[in-house]
Structure 1
Amino acid sequence: MVWLRTGLAGILCLGLLCACGGGSGGGPGAEPQGQGSAPVASGSPEASKTSGRKPPVVRVPRGVRVSYAVFERGRVVAERRSRQTFRSASVVKILIALDYLERHRASAADRALLQVMLRSSDDKAATEFWRRGGQRQVVERMVRRAGLAETAPPPADKPGFWGYTAISARDVVKTYRYLLEKAPKGQREFVLEQLRRSTPCGTDGFDQTFGIPSAAKRPWAVKQGWSGFGDVPAEPCRKGGARPAAWQPDLGLGRPVLHTTGVVGDGKIVVVLTLQPAGTSFRTASARVTDLARQLVRV
């Protein structure tokens, strides 16, 4: 755990997976479809003023809704649409784990379930802890605990769909900051150990090596997320805060999401959330997310 604690003074610092068998749906705010990529100056004005550095230019694929945030040494060094909401898919599993560990002394059996949920993004384990925690109450408690602003429980008519939790890149950064700086030591070390041991394949057969694992050298601790690519991968992986009542987060239903989130090196937090054009293959989406992650880990 030393590598994650070194140089973390002053750092306060989350990713996503499937919601019970994937997800679908369009929703407002979807970008027009197209080909190629467009360069975008990604640094926030606040970060640029604080650091004195020119915002990095990151090439964003056309037709893909992209949101990202990079937090390092006490400040955001790059961000794009960091308050845009996405459906979380399995990224919410970090919140599920932290909520359960906050409220229970986990048995050996529970720790084994948490391990497979965090390492291999097991959906059955997530559903079990989601049910025990009171479903939407899991998110509501963690919103208060971690000071999240855009994160919200799934729609009222889909209470069991934990993967339909709304998240933003900014809030995922806050989640990792909470994990690194505020969570009790035992919880922090347990969760980070599982994220460091992210398996190449999820228990549903999808490849987990896209994004940060392919873009950055170890050490890293990651949580991936995917939804909308079907229940079975086309290419099976081979081992080797309170809101106004009227507010409705945009979950991008009808289009696939693919996220990569985690801690790289001695404390850099990298979050990339994407909503892909309808019909995008997992391979194509993975390549796009890995390219974005490769650019951002160099920021």
Structure 2
Amino acid sequence: MKLLRSDESVVVPVGVTAGVAVFDRQAGQFTDLVNPDLRFRSASVVKLLLVLDFLWDRGPAYEIPAADQARLEVMLRSSDDDAASYYWDHLGGSAIIGRMVPRLGLTHTAGPPPTHPGFWGYAAFTAADTVRIYRYLLDQAPAPVRDFVMGNLHQATRYGTDGFDQYFGIASVFDSSFAIKQGWSGFPNSSGFGRDKSKPKESVVDLANEALHTTGTVGPDDRTVVAVYTLHPDGTGYGKAYSDVTRLIRALNVPGAVKTPGSWVTSTGSGVRVRSAPNTSAGVLGTLPSGVEVLVSCQKKGQLIDTPPRSSEWWAYLPKYDGYVTNVYVGSGGPKLPGVPDCQ
């Protein structure tokens, strides 16, 4: 693998195990590599292989039946697990992996352990093989396949169908020219196949610790492919893992990417609501994962919120949500965020 810089330049958050591969399609080289062939349980990233297997050999004139189109769209955009289970069952389970490995030239991808044949999220994936999947999609796949898959990944919803905020990592850092297929496994209340603390000997991947992966493309014409796989110590909260993965993405060399400007601020509390205007009468746009770092571009006066010992009439504007959250629940406790400009 041709590499622009050494992996020592990538700082992985303490306690996190990471596999990283960043490939600049325009230059034809990797710009960052960390453990690119280290295997992780795929979680929902395996859905890329499910859709490719379904569309394989269908021919350029093939029209996806309406029922399949609806299932595939929600699987790709909102990481729907019921749709993934449908295709896993109907296309032969691990045989899907067996077919796609030689088709795409994957080197370390494998099906789930024999003890868990139905657990598609336990398939073994690597960062380097994930780059190969995206490069096939972008450079070799028939145009209808490329347009369908990448078109849906460019329209990824903020929340998965299980309610989890999937805009961590790539989606948290970069401006809107990105496509994502994320993966999460082992966090409380997440759907699909979580984790197995029994650590079966047949598994080549860690099934016990929390997993959080961000993969996709960034920049004009999908210039750079980014694949980041992470494992977090047992018991890590979703907000902490979300922040660690996003912090790792912020440190990568991603050609063609434009980072959304602003200041990173830690939120407090649980279920903090993001609203369309700086008051509690405004519509709710979403909620923040507990203890997550969020990007703030400016702050604006609004409704006074008094929750002793904290009180503030200032609200932080979060560009990634296009909404506001009271300063009572972001920052270190002062009524106004230091170093953050007023909204104009």
TM-score by length of 1: 0.76
Of residues 266, 271, 279, the one that matches 2:235 is 279
Deviations 1:224-263 (A, max 9, x none): 0000002349xxxxxxxxxxxxx96632111010000000
Structure 1 match to 2:91 = 133
Structure 2 match to 1:268 = 224
1:70 aligns with 2:15: no
1:83 aligns with 2:37: yes
CA distance in 1, matches of 2:142, 2:151: 14
Structure 1 match to 2:55 = 101
Percent identity at matched positions?
47
Name the CA shift for 1:62/1:196 in 2 (closer, same or farther; >3 Å): same
1:202 aligns with 2:160: yes
Q: Which has the larger radius of gyration?
A: 2
Structure 2 gap segments, 5+ residues each: 192-200, 256-344
CA distance in 2, matches of 1:91, 1:297: 22
CA distance in 2, matches of 1:177, 1:186: 15
Within 5 Å, which residues of 2 pair with 1:218-297?
A: 218-232=176-190, 250-266=204-220, 267-297=223-253
3-state SS, counterpart of residue 69 of structure 2: helix
Shift of 1:157: 1.9
Number of aligned residues: 238
Structure 2 match to 1:241 = none
Name the CA shift for 1:273/1:218 in 2 (closer, same or farther; >3 Å): same
1:59 aligns with 2:59: no
Structure 2 match to 1:6 = none
Shift of 1:86: 0.1
Structure 1 gap segments, 5+ residues each: 1-43, 234-246
Structure 1 match to 2:127 = 169
Aligned partners of 1:270 and 1:297 also within 8 Å: no
Within 5 Å, which residues of 2 pair with 1:21-32?
A: none
Shift of 1:186: 0.3
1:189 aligns with 2:139: no
CA distance in 2, matches of 1:68, 1:250: 18
3-state SS, counterpart of residue 20 of structure 2: strand
Aligned partners of 1:68 and 1:81 also within 8 Å: yes
Aligned partners of 1:215 and 1:297 also within 8 Å: no
Which residue identity does 1:117 align to in structure 2? M
Q: Which runs of 4+ in 1 moved over 4 A?
A: 53-56
3-state SS, counterpart of residue 170 of structure 1: helix
Deviations 1:73-111 (A, max 9, x none): 211111011000000000000110111011554201101
Which residue identity does 1:78 align to in structure 2? D
Aligned partners of 1:66 and 1:275 also within 8 Å: yes
Name the CA shift for 1:248/1:81 in 2 (closer, same or farther; >3 Å): farther
Which structure: greater strand fraction? 2
Aligned partners of 1:85 and 1:249 also within 8 Å: no
CA distance in 2, matches of 1:180, 1:109: 25
Deviations 1:40-72 (A, max 9, x none): xxxx7x424xxxx56671221111111101000
3-state SS, counterpart of residue 83 of structure 1: coil
Which residue identity does 2:234 align to in structure 1? A
CA distance in 2, matches of 1:298, 1:75: 11
Deviations 1:212-235 (A, max 9, x none): 0011112111100000002349xx
Which residue identity does 1:136 align to in structure 2? S
Which structure: greater helix fraction? 1
Shift of 1:298: 4.3
